Chain A
Amino acid sequence: MLKLNSISGFLISALLLSCCGGGSGAGNGGPNIGTPTPLPSVSLSTITQQAYEQSSQIAKVKLERSSSNARLNVKYAISGALDITKGSASSDDYQLTYSDDNSAVGARFEMAANQSYRIIEVTPVNDTQHEVPEKLIFTLTADSTYSIASDQSNASVTISDADNSSANGKVFIGAFAPQGGANTIGNGQLSFILQGDNDSGLLSYSFSDLGTEQTDQHIHLSPSGTMIKDIETMGNLSNYAWNLAPGGIFKTEQEMLDTLFDGNFYVNIHSADYPSGEISAPLSYQASITPENPGELSPQQVDLDILRFLTQSTFGATPEQYQQLRGEINPEGDNRIDVYSAWIDQQIGKPQTSLLALTDATLEKFGTEDITIARDRQEPGQNIRSDSFWPIALYGHDQLRQRMAFALSEILVISEENSDVDNAYRGTADYWDMLARNAFGSYRETLEEVTRHPAMGVYLSHLRNQKADPESGYYPDENYAREVMQLFTFGLVQRQKNGAIVLGDNSLPIATYDNSVIKNMARVFTGLSFSYAKNDDNEKVVNNNFFRGNYANDYQYRYTEPMKFFADYHDYDAKVLFSDNGNELTIAPGSPSDPSSADDELNRVITGLVAHSSTAPNIALKLIQRFVTSNPSPDYIERVATAFGDQGDLRATVKAILLDEEARNPAVASSVTFGKVKEPVLKFTALMRLLQVGSSVPLGSSSDDAIASLNYAQADQFDDGATLMRVANAAIGQKALAAQSVFNFFAPEFSPSGALSRNSLVSPELQLITESQLFDSFNSLHRLLINRFNRNNAYTKFNIHFSVEQLNIGLNFSRLESVWNSTQGSGIDKATAVVDYLDFYLNAGQLAAADNNGTRAAMINNIAVASAEDRYTLAVYAAGNVAEFQLQK
């Protein structure tokens, strides 16, 4: 170990040596000594960078020369880490030997005649001290007998206690107890797993029963209470990386490590009643405990991870998909990330199913083209549009793309609750298809298309938005300007890459913009209107009328093409927009005579919005919440935000979300906070996919002439057995593209009162689960079970193609029947198999894993004695409604 005060000594001597050497070195026009043989050039490089005391792994450095076979001595200096907070090796930490003869290295590197290189081995001395990684830098110094290769004058190695395999982790644990005299029943557990090289570790803890709301959490030094680290987030931590960076009174990592092993760090949780800490837990080293090896999974854990993965990435796991992945993953599961990654690539390659094409195809059978049906007996197009979501979600091959479209539709929100959006059903369908098309592209392109889409234009009212005319007293509409910043990109406050709020000089969050930015941003979105319209002959023609209205006719050409700028109504003046880290986005004046200058301006603004440093963490959090968990760790957010980048690489983002160690960690099965409540649409699609829901109208052609079919040309993009799904406005509590407002169905920060908010945890989906909605949802499932989950209305009644009976939607219980029939033994045995089957596919086995098995027993006992007629409906009713099935971990 090298003490702090000696590092600078080493550095100075190294510098001095190199200065002197440089002054008298060759190559600077020194005296000519006769033979002009060029000097040999010597160089250093690192062969093996790491030395480990525990495993006696040796670090290696290679000394080479370019020419000359004569004996050569090469001067060198040794120094430590340039960053004084880092560890530096001292001479008692290692021995230097040559690999070829095991002889010790002396004050100079020696090369014998004919030796073109030598390997210098750094053998660590295995002491019993706990040391941070220690750097050792060799620097060649000049001499008249050689020259030094300018880019290879030095080589560094690091000496660490042990490698970072999990077996070398060191475990610190602690229990939360009232801090000082705090009167609280707050409690909890803490662990810190320090990695083998002592460089950083993973801090996890959970606590509960604080008396009042949490306000902060820190790591402190005992007994003084000096704060060492502010943990930026609130609530429980899971594998939060702490790198032991010096803080408080400490200047070096080694001091931090010594203090850690001395047991003088503690974590405390601050609350409103106890601003200096309500509960605290020490980090106590437990030499006898070794951490679990997270790499080894049992076959059952592999199974459940596959189900978790499919639940995260599709509209519901099916036996076929499970079998496919199970077949490719080896029993230990250690290739599963590669298999999932390949599966994602396959999904990306699947042809996109189209909501607009399916809507149009269905309309032909229900709609306006058939002159034998009076207009008032024809199904409104918006009904067809909203029904058409279901076959895509339930049977589409491009499951991940459509899940991504659904997730994006909950960020870049338009809603048919707005009557213009509802009426423009072809535009609304086209908007969905646009999101799906961009699902694995770039968020920047997505946002540009969103901004120009007439469905968004009409929803957030930047369609036909005119430049200001202060004389007349009117100003551009600010609606889109506001939400494109707050909701679609960087949000209200400046964030770090891990999502934590950045505090300004006044210790308050830094607002990303103010009202003047909104006003200027509104000017960017002026002059946009429809680019196409319909003429009197129902032909699609270019629109030259800025003021063309919202009317959605049968063709809706105006709603399926991007909006364009009308120069007379765009504000071409200079604009000062938002700043990010001191860089202000300003727009130079454009020119009304140059049609492309408004487009250029829009492109610049969109690029700037997405590249803003807070956009990546903001969108990363929202997407993680849609796929994996409501409360991701800061590191998880940061990893996904990094994949997102400054253009919004959605392909990298979706992989980062689904393949992240936090998403794939089987240990979350026992977590009481990880995961999310299944949102109603996903809960119902999962159940319907497993139980092969359908009507009697095939999407493709019908094999039986007596059965009418949709004859949809792209039916091969869907699973076999895909059918028309007139789901209608079933009161399940959620409907795609029908959020109540631009703030979506639920807020990303919704934190229900009680244990969740006391632990600073959010659960957005719970905002939808109210008492009345719960009953509506139960009743909707009941209707599905009795085949009445459908849109049977006057329009259906008059339809000449399909009877009401054909359009009825029902579940197919044959999978459950097969489980029952193929299970040997008593009714209890058979019922157990059915319950476990549903638990496996719908719930990744959470019911079987629950500590309290009362629900499982009640399901089994009741299903065992149910009549054959009620058996499966009872099983599915229970699986749909009991609390144990509502979460996705």
Chain B
Amino acid sequence: MSTIRLSRRRFLQKSSQLSLASAAAVNSIGMLGLLGASQSLSDASDHKALVYIMLVGGNDSYNMLIPTGDNQLRRNYETHRGAVALPEADLHSLQLAIPAKVYAGADNATTNSTEFAMHPACPAMAELFNNGELAVVCNTGNLIQPTSKAQFDDGSVALPPQLFSHSDQQRQLQSEPTNPFRYGWGGGMAERLADYNSDNNVSPLIAVGGLNSFQVTQEGLINTYSLGDSGAPSLDGFARARQQILEASIQSIDAQAHLMAQKYRDTFDAAIKAQTVVQGAFTQAESLGVDYDGIFAAAGAVATDRSTQRLKTVAKMIAGRSLTTNQRPVYFLEIHGFDTHQKLLSDHHKLMTELNAALKGFRDVLVAQGDFDKVLTMVGSEFARTMTPNGEDAEAGTDHAWGGHSMVMGGMVNGGQLFGTHPDLKLDQGLDTGRGRWIPTTTNSQCSAVVAHWMGIQQSSLSSLFPSLDNFDSPFDAATNLDFIA
């Protein structure tokens, strides 16, 4: 977090929490001694981290979690997926702890099904599910208010702006289905959890691999800190004269300077301050004796995949958390390539292979570090894809749709269950808005609210973070079937 840009109000608030804050703020390098001292002011055992993995492009999640068995759901799947349907024999079956709810027409009627399986490339995900460490939240998506097909067709209900536009749906998944975009729910959550995150040298909002909407804050008082895929790079050839000039520039860009120059200064300032913390965290992680490379490799992760590098970086930051006083960090990273307009079967297979290995590797290093109970990993995507393919052969792809499956993983997860309501996969009726673009049966905000509450947001404060939440049944009502955190 940049100390320079804190408002006076926030600064005073922080100073009272952390008496060393003002001393720390003027000392940009060589912070380790002070940090050790400040650590004692927080309760290190009360640590929770959220890791949000965004599958960018629109994951075809109806080919990730797939109905099986001799039943109508499976038959609907095979009929409508056509050339891109996956044969049941290749799938990894799931043992559901409780039967899943399946949509059965209007008025929230549901039936049950216990027959589901994971994509052929996802054996580890199936295993995590069956071990109770991973759960799926079915058919979530962006909604402003509960929506039926009749309301969708006659336009009598407010719909998320620019449904099926890629960039908009991505932003809305990370925030709220409103236009214009104001803040991401990760960013808004961090502001509301400021009392847990007292560190002045590194932000509680950490992106690995680039900035995102999820971590944009509401009041703009916390900046996202962006790590490279493999952590914070160090500066080469940063000799004394170079350093002096750069530090002079940080000092000289004052409140009268161009606003964009001020932002550049803030980023540079944050980079310098966080460098020490991040390098310290990595050193500490390495000292734990956890074989990061070996564990990810054993899980099948390819060392050069960005997902592997990024999740290793997150795991090490979590392992080295005693270097910061932030007790509610929010991590964000992306895995790209899910916009499978062509070659769904082959390309999605590669993506599922990568995701399966990434989640397995990440789970195993967190267990080795002893952090799996503290870290909630959430996997989402802006939308699922049309049931019907864009072609009739194995090269066919699928198009942008609407509701899709999210996943949660961690020691605190009620694993082995499908939460929310699974669509009936019937075309031109019920939930279908065309080509198998399912109206979500759970809005993203309901799902996110459960996570935000686990992180420490009071139930009464959730609707300030998710303004559309009040339009829906409470995610804490049993009927919404969102009890995915123990």
Chain A interface (Cβ < 8 Å from any Cβ of B) = 212-213, 460-461, 465-466, 469, 472-479, 482, 486, 492, 509, 511, 515, 518-519, 630, 671-673, 675-677, 740-741, 743, 747, 749, 752-759, 761, 763, 766-767, 769-776, 778-779, 782-783, 785-786, 850-855, 857-859, 862, 866, 870, 874, 877-878, 881-884, 886-887, 889
Contacts and interface: CB of A to CB of B under 8 A. Distances in A.
A766 B241 contact: no
Contacts of A754: 5, 220, 223, 262-263, 266
Interface stretch (B93-101, B158-166, B325-333, B358-366): B158-166
Interface string B221-247: 011011110001111111101101111
Given A469-B392, A677-B260, A769-B264, A775 B226 contact: no
Interface in B435-454: 435
A474 B400 contact: no
Contacts of A862: 241, 244-245
B342 interface: yes
A578 to B, nearest CB: 14
Contacts of A886: 260-261, 264
A741 B334 CA distance: 13
Interface in B159-200: 161-168, 179-180, 182-183, 187
B244 A511 contact: no
A870 B164 CA distance: 55
A386 B153 CA distance: 48
A118 B162 CA distance: 66
Contacts of B80: 473
A782 B244 contact: no
Contacts of B339: 479
Nearest to B225: A771
B276 interface: no
Contact of B250 (A741, A749, A883): A883
Contacts of B294: none
Contacts of A213: 182
Contacts of A775: 228, 232-235, 271, 275
B399 interface: yes
A779 B232 CA distance: 13
Contacts of A759: 259
25 contacts: A469-B392, A473-B79, A474-B389, A477-B397, A477-B399, A482-B400, A515-B164, A676-B260, A741-B56, A758-B220, A763-B259, A770-B210, A771-B267, A774-B271, A775-B233, A775-B271, A779-B235, A851-B254, A851-B256, A858-B248, A862-B241, A883-B253, A884-B249, A886-B260, A887-B258
A666 B425 CA distance: 63
Contacts of B164: 482, 515, 518
B147 interface: no
Contacts of A757: 220
A755 B217 contact: no
Contacts of B267: 769-771, 774
Given A743-B167, A772-B227, A756 B400 contact: no
A93 B351 CA distance: 80
A630 B260 CA distance: 10
B50 interface: no
B10 interface: no
Contacts of B217: 753
A754 B268 CA distance: 15
Nearest to A272: B182
Contact of B237 (A461, A509, A519, A786): A786
A756 B263 contact: yes
Contacts of B246: 878, 881-882
Contacts of B388: 473-475
B397 A776 contact: no
A853 B254 CA distance: 11
B207 interface: yes
A874 B242 contact: yes
Nearest to B273: A771
A763 B268 CA distance: 17
B227 A672 contact: no
Nearest to B241: A862
Interface of B: 5, 56, 79-80, 82-83, 161-168, 179-180, 182-183, 187, 207, 210-211, 216-217, 219-220, 222-223, 225-228, 232-239, 241-242, 244-254, 256-268, 270-271, 274-275, 336, 339, 341-342, 386, 388-392, 396-397, 399-400, 433-435
Interface centre among B220, B239, B248 (most CB of A within 10 A): B248
Nearest to A462: B341
Nearest to B233: A775
B82 A874 contact: no
A482 B260 contact: no
A597 B211 CA distance: 46
B216 to A, nearest CB: 6
Nearest to A779: B236
A478 B165 contact: no
A862 B252 CA distance: 16
Given A212-B219, A740-B210, 14 more contacts: A492-B161, A741-B56, A754-B263, A761-B259, A763-B260, A766-B263, A767-B211, A769-B263, A851-B256, A852-B252, A852-B256, A866-B241, A877-B242, A886-B264
A783 B236 CA distance: 9
B219 to A, nearest CB: 8
B264 A673 contact: no
A766 B254 contact: no
A753 B223 contact: yes
A870 B242 CA distance: 11
B258 A492 contact: no
Contacts of A874: 241-242, 245
Contacts of A770: 207, 210-211, 226, 267
A755 B263 contact: yes
Contacts of B223: 753-754
A658 to B, nearest CB: 21
Contact of A492 (B165, B244, B259): B165
Nearest to B216: A753
A776 B219 CA distance: 29
Contacts of A474: 82-83, 388-392, 396
Contact of A675 (B179, B180, B258): B258
A225 to B, nearest CB: 26
Given A477-B341, A515-B434, A883-B253, A755 B242 contact: no
B323 to A, nearest CB: 16
B120 to A, nearest CB: 22
A854 B252 contact: yes
A49 B104 CA distance: 77
Given A482-B165, A753-B217, A881-B246, A673 B235 contact: no
B220 A478 contact: no
| Residue among B253, B263, B342 having the largest count of chain A Cβ atoms under 10 Å | B263
Nearest to A471: B392
B226 A771 contact: yes
A632 to B, nearest CB: 15
Given A677-B264, A770-B226, A771-B267, A870 B249 contact: no
Contacts of A761: 259
Nearest to B79: A473
A763 B223 CA distance: 15
Contacts of B256: 672, 851-852
A473 B248 contact: no
A213 B225 CA distance: 22
Given A475-B388, A479-B341, A774-B268, A852 B233 contact: no
Nearest to B435: A475
Contacts of A763: 259-260, 263
B414 to A, nearest CB: 35
Nearest to B396: A474
A675 to B, nearest CB: 7
A511 B155 CA distance: 14
A673 B259 contact: yes
A204 B339 CA distance: 44
Contacts of A756: 259-260, 263
Contacts of B210: 740, 770, 773
